[in-house]
Chain A
Amino acid sequence: MLSTWMVLATSLTYLLALFAVAHFADRLSRSGRNQAAISNSYIYSLSIAVYCTSWTYYGSVGRAVSSGVGFLPIYLGPTIVFTLGWFLLRKILRICKTQRITSIADFIASRYGKSQLIAGLVTVMTVIGIIPYISLQLKAVADSFGVVLAKDMESVASGLAAYDFALLVTLVLAAFAVLFGTRHIEATEHHAGMVVAIAVESLVKLVAFVAVGIFVTFGIFNGFGDVFARAAQLPELSQLMTMENAGNNWMTLTLLSMAAIVCLPRQFQVTFVENTDEAHLKRATWMFPLYLVVINIFVLPIAFGGLVTFSGSGINADTYVLAFPLSHGQSLLTLVVLLGGLSAAAAMVIVETIALSTMVSNDLIMPVLFRFFERRLAGREDLTTLLLNIRRVAIVSILLLAYSYLAAVGGTYHLVTIGLVSFCAAAQLAPVMLLAIYWRGGTRNAALAGLASGFFVWIYTLLLPSFAKSGLLPQSFVEQGPLGIALLKPYALFGLESLDSISHSLFWSMIANVGAFLLVALRERQSRIEHIQGTVFVEAFSEQSPPSHPGLPHFTRGGASVGSLRRLAARFVGEERTAEAFNIYARRQGLDNEAGLQVDSGLMRLVERLVAGAIGAASARVAMASAVKAERVSYEEIMEVLDETSHVLEYSRQLEQKSRELEIASRELSAANEQLREADKLKDEFMSTVSHELRTPLTSIRSFSEILQDDPEMPEDQRNSFLGIIVSESERLTRLINQVLDLAKIEAGRMQWDIKDVAVAPVVREATQALQPIFQRDGVRLDVAPVPDDLPPVRADADRLIQVLINLISNAEKFCPKPNGVVSLIVRREGDMMRFSVIDNGPGIPEADRKAIFDKFYQVKGRNQGDGNPAGTGTGLGLTICERIVSQFNGHISVVPGREAGSEFTFTVPISVTAAAPSH
């Protein structure tokens, strides 16, 4: 048996040795020499193994005894995250670096609009959530001392030495946490010494656990085969090794531990805040999982060996690790195992309380101080001592709270269950964390709602029942529900009874958490700063937000002087660190030293980041605001600056919008221009064609006039023939001019239309009478089918209708053979339309020309000549005008070949509605 004195002395010496390591590493770190020795990927990976606490160290064996491989999911989650989810870690790491994140509360608050309220809420959540976990460590250490110092194996089984040691352990660990974590304020919250010490502890607990594993497996038993073979003979063991026994909460535990490896404050601290080089993460992605594998190799052999050896002796399976060397009189090994367990607990407690105290000081106490005691703070040149003291008080308070929880609740639970309660609390941070880096949306209120809802459900379904179990609350609260309402039973909310308490809590809290978050996020509009931070976080790897430009609305103006900014930084991070940062910044600006510095946005940003490194982003903003305010710049003015920044952003957004609109407008304009050009071209062509058409008759007129003038002796009949040509070409010219004008009028919409009910018979009569002389002159017959008197009137302009008829009939006459030419006109009703057909027995129109015949100036080539027809009298506009007029009446004109020969021109005109109705 080991003497009490020796055990305590060895433990204390071990802790002091660790502190020496930390101190030495710190000095090395500050000297700037030999950085690789203390800041490398091995130390980084080992420090992450702070995940394996005394809970793991002792509790895994206990859990393996009760549920076989059920101890594994706690390690499976982190392994999955590090091997498969490394990109997620890398992104969080990058954000932490660019945003100078100091804690998980800082991270979440910074993401959702730099809200102090969120930072405070997360701090409260984690402190309350983690306290059971810390008390668990105290219990494990106290238990381990109790076991080792028990007088004999009997008392190991019965006594467990109560909590005699627990308070002592608490105080010693508190002292060390204060020593490790609050010796000085670092601008980046890097605790190089602490990290090295944690790595050493990780190594010690690994060596110790493997050592006892080897001792059990190969010392007491004859290798793995022997352990399993002998254990297999135990009746209770055959069912232990099945998945059913591993528990139906396998999935729950895996998910919980996946969340925990990122969201537990100490894991966030070592993985992201303490990281000095992004490249270190690469090695950690396989080294940390490997560590987990190695430390778990001997869990099952020790558990089974323990079952074989201690079955029925009443010894708690959580203490098998110690019981083996102890019962075999292996004093040295016992001590090593004890130190391993102490390492696991101490490392956890130190990192966890440092992380929590940072959050408490930065996100709870300082904001309150700034708000309510600003004037008194302003008088203090150096705030670092105040900050450190706050953190010291926080560390001690947290540990005392943990001790209280242990004293009240601890005796009633297994190690594992208490740990899972904390895991479940930490998991409440997971949704906002995940959404923070992969979804731009989300607002401060959404995050508050989600976190608070999830946390409330956690308190109700896990924390309060744990109080009830230990008698702090009436037992009926769990068994019958509050006030006897069964639906509100904390372990069976809304009647959900099939799940174990952890899965049950996780289920409901996640629904509340994510539900509330999305409900608010989707209803609210993001503020400018929420939007900016959302973009910065989600696009951490894009070029748009390089590390030096976090893209925030910073304090860019105001009365702040270089001196005042410098004083502000020095108050939080110390003179030395400030001088260094200012000098580096000055050199980067191309100056010899900081004397030449001027206040610009870059310097503002530098100071804000320095201060943020010490007290977090949210508090830093307030500190900056108050510093600038001290320079007689009003709060309103700062808000104005911020507002201006957001206005500028808004303005640039509007500019973008405007430029997009302009682009569209200019596209439309150029399209319109194109149309105009096209129209212009058409007009040009029209003018050119008109000019050509005018020149043609003019040519004949001028030529023959000159010929007649030059040849007075010309024979009489030839002279008459030439004069006849001059007359007919003049008529053609006149017609052409009239038609061009008509067409121009119609197309410009300036034609006067007198559309009314027009009786058909008089119109037909007038048109045919006007053409009688031509028909008589050429000897062509005009057949007009009898127009019935009861034909209804049509909707048309009478004069224009007559014009169309004259045009079509005279056209037909022109192309008729002479003699024997016949032109027929038939008018009949067809439904709602009146149909006019003009048929000739001329040469007809080639198929290819039929469609184009209504186009301007289109003339069927060769049609105007030969066979002694009155040649060259067409203008090429007659049919076009007919088509326009008929269209104006809402009718239609077309041409088809005549039944025997020639062509049939047909057009329709709507029958008057008033007249049409009764005839139906």
Chain B
Amino acid sequence: MTKSVLVVDDEPNILLSLEYLMKRAGYVVRLARDGDEALASVLETPPDLVLLDINIPKRNGYEVCQSIRSNPALKNVRILMVTAKGREVEIEKGMALGADGYATKPFSTKELAERVAQLLNGTGA
């Protein structure tokens, strides 16, 4: 069964590039431009993985992450944080809130694809 990926970012160009990358890797891709949109999308149809930017409008990435993790029905959703905030404490904060991985912008497309694949395979699916 094809894995699904939800890409969340408020930068149109980054959204575009991530969409392209995920589609090329063979996943079903959905997009969201802010926290509310992302959460609604996750609740509607839980994706296998969320590529989550932190600095997004309305509800930031941390809050989205927290909401997903506090919902037992969504425990299988993997979360990979992708953000330009490169500081150590921010990475730690994301991991503490239940993210499964963290990628810093600007990222290597190849590495990002590998991380996504790893996380999706790690679920045993």
Question: Beyond A688-B87, A699-B84, A861-B57, is A706–B109 a contact (Cβ under 8 Å)?
Answer: yes
Q: Chain B contacts of A696 at CB under 8 A?
A: 11, 14, 84, 105
Q: Chain A contacts of B2 at CB under 8 A?
A: none
Question: Beyond A695-B86, A700-B11, A872-B13, is A707–B106 a contact (Cβ under 8 Å)?
Answer: no
Q: Chain B contacts of A707 at CB under 8 A?
A: 17, 20-21, 109
A-B pairs with CB below 8 Å: how many?
A: 73
**Scoring A residues 683 to 696 as 1 if CB is less than 8 Å from chain B, else 0, what string do you get?**
00000100111011
Question: Beyond A692-B55, A695-B106, A865-B33, is A700–B14 a contact (Cβ under 8 Å)?
Answer: yes
- Distance of A725 Cα from B11 Cα, bound (Å): 12
Q: Chain B contacts of A872 at CB under 8 A?
A: 11-13
- Distance of A612 Cα from B110 Cα, bound (Å): 102
Asked if A405 CB lies within 8 Å of chain B CBs, one says no
B29 to chain A: closest CB distance in Å?
14
Q: Chain B contacts of A693 at CB under 8 A?
A: 84
- Distance of A157 Cα from B107 Cα, bound (Å): 134
Asked if B10 CB lies within 8 Å of chain A CBs, one says yes
Of residues 683 to 730 in A, which have CB atoms within 8 Å of B's CB atoms?
688, 691-693, 695-696, 698-704, 706-707, 710-711, 725, 729
Residues of A within 8 A of B (CB-CB), count: 24
Selected contact of B109 from candidates A692, A710, A725, A729, CB within 8 Å:
A710
Asked if B77 CB lies within 8 Å of chain A CBs, one says no
Of residues 861 to 916 in A, which have CB atoms within 8 Å of B's CB atoms?
861-862, 865, 871-872
B105 (CB) vs chain A CBs: closest residue = A699
Asked if B108 CB lies within 8 Å of chain A CBs, one says yes
Question: Cβ of A701 and Cβ of B106 under 8 Å apart?
Answer: yes
Question: Cβ of A725 and Cβ of B16 under 8 Å apart?
Answer: yes
Question: Beyond A691-B86, A692-B55, A865-B33, is A698–B105 a contact (Cβ under 8 Å)?
Answer: yes
Q: By DSSP majority rule, is chain B's interface helix, strand, loop, or mixed?
A: loop
**Scoring A residues 568 to 608 as 1 if CB is less than 8 Å from chain B, else 0, what string do you get?**
00000000000000000000000000000000000000000
Q: Chain A contacts of B13 at CB under 8 A?
A: 700, 704, 725, 729, 871-872
Q: Chain B contacts of A692 at CB under 8 A?
A: 55, 84-85
B59 to chain A: closest CB distance in Å?
11
- Distance of A140 Cα from B58 Cα, bound (Å): 110
Q: Chain A contacts of B21 at CB under 8 A?
A: 703, 707
- Distance of A692 Cα from B54 Cα, bound (Å): 11
Question: Cβ of B58 and Cβ of A703 under 8 Å apart?
Answer: no
Asked if B18 CB lies within 8 Å of chain A CBs, one says yes
Asked if B48 CB lies within 8 Å of chain A CBs, one says no
Selected contact of B12 from candidates A688, A701, A704, A871, CB within 8 Å:
A871
Q: Chain A contacts of B16 at CB under 8 A?
A: 725
Question: Cβ of A706 and Cβ of B108 under 8 Å apart?
Answer: yes
Selected contact of A691 from candidates B84, B107, B108, CB within 8 Å:
B84
Q: Chain B contacts of A691 at CB under 8 A?
A: 84, 86
Q: Chain A contacts of B34 at CB under 8 A?
A: 861-862
Question: Beyond A691-B86, A703-B17, is A861–B58 a contact (Cβ under 8 Å)?
Answer: yes
Q: Chain A contacts of B106 at CB under 8 A?
A: 695, 698-699, 701-703
A681 to chain B: closest CB distance in Å?
14
Q: Chain A contacts of B20 at CB under 8 A?
A: 707
Q: Chain B contacts of A702 at CB under 8 A?
A: 106-109
- Distance of A703 Cα from B109 Cα, bound (Å): 6
Selected contact of B14 from candidates A688, A703, A710, CB within 8 Å:
A703
Q: Chain A contacts of B33 at CB under 8 A?
A: 865
Q: Chain B contacts of A861 at CB under 8 A?
A: 10, 34, 57-58
Residues of B within 8 A of A (CB-CB), count: 27
Q: By DSSP majority rule, is chain A's interface helix, strand, loop, or mixed?
A: helix
A767 to chain B: closest CB distance in Å?
29
Of residues 506 to 549 in A, which have CB atoms within 8 Å of B's CB atoms?
none
**Scoring B residues 9 to 45 as 1 if CB is less than 8 Å from chain A, else 0, what string do you get?**
0111110111011001000000001100000000000
Question: Cβ of B87 and Cβ of A699 under 8 Å apart?
Answer: no
A862 (CB) vs chain B CBs: closest residue = B57
Selected contact of A700 from candidates B10, B17, B24, B87, CB within 8 Å:
B17
Question: Beyond A706-B109, A865-B12, A871-B12, is A695–B17 a contact (Cβ under 8 Å)?
Answer: no
Q: Chain B contacts of A871 at CB under 8 A?
A: 11-13
- Distance of A725 Cα from B18 Cα, bound (Å): 14
Q: Chain A contacts of B14 at CB under 8 A?
A: 696, 699-700, 703
**Scoring B residues 70 to 108 as 1 if CB is less than 8 Å from chain A, else 0, what string do you get?**
000000000000001111000000000000000011111
Q: Chain B contacts of A699 at CB under 8 A?
A: 11, 14, 17, 84, 105-107
Question: Beyond A706-B109, A707-B20, A861-B57, is A695–B84 a contact (Cβ under 8 Å)?
Answer: yes
B98 to chain A: closest CB distance in Å?
23
Q: Chain A contacts of B58 at CB under 8 A?
A: 861
- Distance of A453 Cα from B60 Cα, bound (Å): 89
- Distance of A790 Cα from B13 Cα, bound (Å): 48
- Distance of A146 Cα from B9 Cα, bound (Å): 128
- Distance of A693 Cα from B86 Cα, bound (Å): 12
A72 to chain B: closest CB distance in Å?
90
Q: Chain B contacts of A700 at CB under 8 A?
A: 11, 13-14, 17
A523 to chain B: closest CB distance in Å?
69
Question: Counting chain B CB atoms within 10 Å of each CB, which of A695, A699, A862 scores highest?
Answer: A699
Q: Chain B contacts of A698 at CB under 8 A?
A: 105-106
Q: Chain A contacts of B11 at CB under 8 A?
A: 696, 699-700, 871-872
- Distance of A872 Cα from B10 Cα, bound (Å): 9
A728 to chain B: closest CB distance in Å?
8
**Scoring A residues 780 to 807 as 1 if CB is less than 8 Å from chain B, else 0, what string do you get?**
0000000000000000000000000000
Q: Chain A contacts of B108 at CB under 8 A?
A: 702, 706
**Scoring B residues 49 to 72 as 1 if CB is less than 8 Å from chain A, else 0, what string do you get?**
000000101100000000000000
- Distance of A700 Cα from B9 Cα, bound (Å): 12
B90 to chain A: closest CB distance in Å?
9
- Distance of A231 Cα from B13 Cα, bound (Å): 127
- Distance of A711 Cα from B17 Cα, bound (Å): 13
- Distance of A688 Cα from B86 Cα, bound (Å): 9
Question: Counting chain A CB atoms within 10 Å of each CB, which of B11, B87, B108 scores highest?
Answer: B11
Q: Chain B contacts of A711 at CB under 8 A?
A: 24
A174 to chain B: closest CB distance in Å?
101
- Distance of A295 Cα from B20 Cα, bound (Å): 122
Q: Chain A contacts of B57 at CB under 8 A?
A: 861-862
Question: Beyond A688-B85, A695-B105, A710-B109, is A703–B12 a contact (Cβ under 8 Å)?
Answer: no
B56 (CB) vs chain A CBs: closest residue = A861
- Distance of A601 Cα from B20 Cα, bound (Å): 95
B14 to chain A: closest CB distance in Å?
5
Q: Chain A contacts of B104 at CB under 8 A?
A: 695
B27 to chain A: closest CB distance in Å?
16
B62 to chain A: closest CB distance in Å?
15
Q: Chain A contacts of B10 at CB under 8 A?
A: 861-862, 865
A352 to chain B: closest CB distance in Å?
91
Question: Cβ of B86 and Cβ of A703 under 8 Å apart?
Answer: no
- Distance of A700 Cα from B21 Cα, bound (Å): 12
- Distance of A693 Cα from B18 Cα, bound (Å): 18
Q: Chain A contacts of B24 at CB under 8 A?
A: 711
Q: Other CB < 8 Å A-B pairs besides A701-B106, A729-B13, A861-B10, 19 of them?
A: A688-B87, A692-B55, A695-B86, A696-B84, A699-B14, A699-B106, A703-B107, A703-B109, A704-B13, A704-B17, A706-B109, A710-B109, A710-B110, A711-B24, A725-B13, A725-B16, A865-B10, A865-B33, A871-B11
Interface residues of A (CB under 8 A from B): 688, 691-693, 695-696, 698-704, 706-707, 710-711, 725, 729, 861-862, 865, 871-872
**10 tightest Cβ-Cβ pairs between the two chains A and B:** A703-B17, A695-B84, A861-B57, A700-B13, A699-B105, A699-B106, A871-B12, A702-B106, A706-B109, A698-B106
Q: Can you name 26 A-B pairs with beta carbons within 8 Å? A: A688-B87, A691-B86, A692-B55, A692-B85, A695-B84, A695-B104, A695-B105, A698-B105, A699-B11, A699-B105, A702-B107, A702-B108, A702-B109, A703-B18, A703-B106, A704-B17, A706-B109, A707-B109, A710-B109, A711-B24, A725-B16, A861-B10, A862-B10, A862-B57, A865-B10, A871-B13
